């Protein structure tokens, strides 16, 4: 039987490929808008889940991204999004309502994966500088019926966002060109440009409530770069490192592209002592037994917090 995900991808793909005068991604936005207004619809089996809708859109966006390809715009892969979603939902287990921020939301794929993993209890804010990606994620959030507020702006400029319980972010990596603005951050170096990924961590911590968590997809070499002394100093003063999770090499094209998941917590006034840091490595994801035992280890660690 054809799955709902396949039906949705086929519907978006046929719509986009028959509109040759528009960018493929523009046509996906138009197809989603027409779907929302009921003008045209994908053929769907009886009931459709939010994850089926997200995956169907994601497949079409992946195809469209080849045309719109820009370095640093890559959608967060599902395997990583699912892990972050698992972590996020376990860390927020005890809360009835969760406020969530993704300051570099791109297509929204990571954000929606996390929201879908957490059920119906999340209200999110998405910030992204690329206007096309914001329109794409806005139309996706409507189809997914996930409550998200969108900002099209440089996320390192002042953000009109109240402190949140949780930040998730696949950090844009590289130099941040706006030195004047970077001077507002502790991790601006004395010479040269600051690293965007450092400033995104700092901006995220600024927008967390005390006790809130930041879950970041970071370069695996984050703590060993030429500017890492700034990061070490910043983290020591402003955050608690709760977990560093190395991802399998097989997920990345080469060693320089390898990433890890970093979990930071914003300290609260009444917190006592320094909590343990979970240092672990994700096993080969196709190994079901190893993955089940890894997720059990994560769950036990969260339960101890």
Contacting residues toward ligand SAM, per CB under 6 A: 72-76, 104-107, 109-110, 127-130, 133, 154-156, 170, 172
For residue 303, give every residue at least 6 positions away whose Cβ sits within 8 Å of its Cβ, in sequence order, or none: none
CB atoms inside a 10 Å sphere around CB 41: 11
Q: 204 or 240, CB closer to ligand SAM?
A: 204
Mutual angle of helices 109-117 and 78-91, in 10-degree steps: 40
Give min distance, CB of 235 to ligand SAM, in A.
Answer: 21
Q: Tell the smallest beta-carbon distance from residue 213 to ligand SAM (Å).
A: 17
Q: How far is the CB of 232 from ligand SAM (least distance, A)?
A: 23
Q: Is the CB of residue 111 less than 8 Å from the CB of residue 137?
A: yes
Find, among 61, 56, 67, 63, the residue nearest to 11 by Cα. 56
Residue 1 or 183 with smaller CB distance to ligand SAM: 183
Is the Cβ of residue 73 or residue 299 nearer to ligand SAM in the bound state?
73
In whole angstroms, how close is the CB of 276 to ligand SAM at the nearest point? 28
Distance (Å, whole) CA 111 – CA 9: 20
Contacts 24+ apart (CB under 8 A), 40-49: 40/11, 40/15, 41/11, 42/4, 42/7, 42/8, 42/10, 42/11, 42/12, 43/7, 43/11, 44/4, 44/7, 44/8, 45/1, 45/2, 45/3, 45/4, 45/7, 48/4, 49/4
Q: How far apart are CA 133 and CA 141, in angstroms?
A: 12
If the CB atoms of residues 169 and 240 are measured against ligand SAM, the closer one turns out to be 169
Measured from the CB atom, the residue of 206 and 301 that comes closer to ligand SAM is 206
Residue 148 C-beta: closest distance to ligand SAM, Å: 13
Residue placing its CB nearer to ligand SAM in the complex, 56 or 172: 172
The radius of gyration of the chain's CA atoms, rounded to the nearest angstrom, is: 20
| CA atoms of 186 and 1, how far apart (whole Å) | 55
- Minimum Å distance from CB 266 to ligand SAM? 21
Burial state string for 121-136 with b = 16 or more CB within 10 A and e = fewer than 16:
ebebbbbbbbebbbbb
Residue number of the CB closest to ligand SAM reads: 106
Q: Which is nearer to ligand SAM, 215 or 302 (CB)?
A: 215
As measured in angstroms, the least distance from the Cβ of 43 to ligand SAM is 27
């Amino acid at each position: 039987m054809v799955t709902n995900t396949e039906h949705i991808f086929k519907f978006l793909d046929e719509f986009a490929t028959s509109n040759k005068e528009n960018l493929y991604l523009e046509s996906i936005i138009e197809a989603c808008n027409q779907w929302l207004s009921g003008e045209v619809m994908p053929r769907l089996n009886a009931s459709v889940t939010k994850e089926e809708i997200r995956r169907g859109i994601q497949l079409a966006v992946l195809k469209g991204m080849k045309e719109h390809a820009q370095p640093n715009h890559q959608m967060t892969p599902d395997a990583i999004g699912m892990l972050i979603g698992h972590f996020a939902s376990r860390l927020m287990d005890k809360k009835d309502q969760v406020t969530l921020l993704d300051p570099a939301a791109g297509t929204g794929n990571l954000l929606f994966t996390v929201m879908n993993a957490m059920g119906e209890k999340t209200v999110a804010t998405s910030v992204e500088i690329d206007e096309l990606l914001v329109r794409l994620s806005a139309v996706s959030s409507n189809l997914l019926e996930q409550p998200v507020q969108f900002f099209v702006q440089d996320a390192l400029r002042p953000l009109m966002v109240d402190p949140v319980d949780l930040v998730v972010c696949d950090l844009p990596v590289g130099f941040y060109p706006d030195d004047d603005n970077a001077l507002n951050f502790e991790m601006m170096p004395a010479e040269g440009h600051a690293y965007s990924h450092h400033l995104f961590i700092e901006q995220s911590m600024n927008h967390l409530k005390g006790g809130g968590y930041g879950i970041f997809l970071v370069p695996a070499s984050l703590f060993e770069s030429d500017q890492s002394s700034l990061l070490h100093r910043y983290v020591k003063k402003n955050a608690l490192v709760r977990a560093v999770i190395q991802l399998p090499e097989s997920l990345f094209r080469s060693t320089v592209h390898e990433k890890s998941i970093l979990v930071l917590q914003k300290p609260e006034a009444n917190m006592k002592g320094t909590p343990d840091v979970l240092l672990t490595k994700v096993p080969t994801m196709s190994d079901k037994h190893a993955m089940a035992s890894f997720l059990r280890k994560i769950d036990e660690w969260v339960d101890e917090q």
